Amino acid sequence: MKLPEPLGPYSHFKVFNGMVYTSGQIPADNILDIKEQTRQAIENLSNVLKMAGSGLEYVLKTTCYLKSMDDFGIFNNVYAEYFKNKPARACVEVARLPKDVMVEIEAIAYIPEK
């Protein structure tokens, strides 16, 4: 699995003491609705976590950035499909996101012992 190049001088993730810290993941910029943007951002996050040896089921905390809190309900519905373990979460509205997308999600997860 190959991840796209970061948009700036950062890594998609860092691992320290069995923990994974991800950078914010955004959807492709050609998706127009919040539902599909949320789905794509979470799929991208899942791919980053897998590369680090973790997965969505091991996420302890997410930070979610929305362009509009008017999208909060739709965002929550999609988010709940993926995060059955209900990690701790912060969700805030921001003025603007990279590539003018509607959502960005970052996470902290652990790497399970094999």
* Catalytic residue ranges: 91
Q: Find residue 62's DSSP bridge partners.
A: 89, 107
Tell me the residue length of the chain.
114
Residues 6+ apart with CB under 8 A from 52: 13, 15, 20, 22, 109, 111
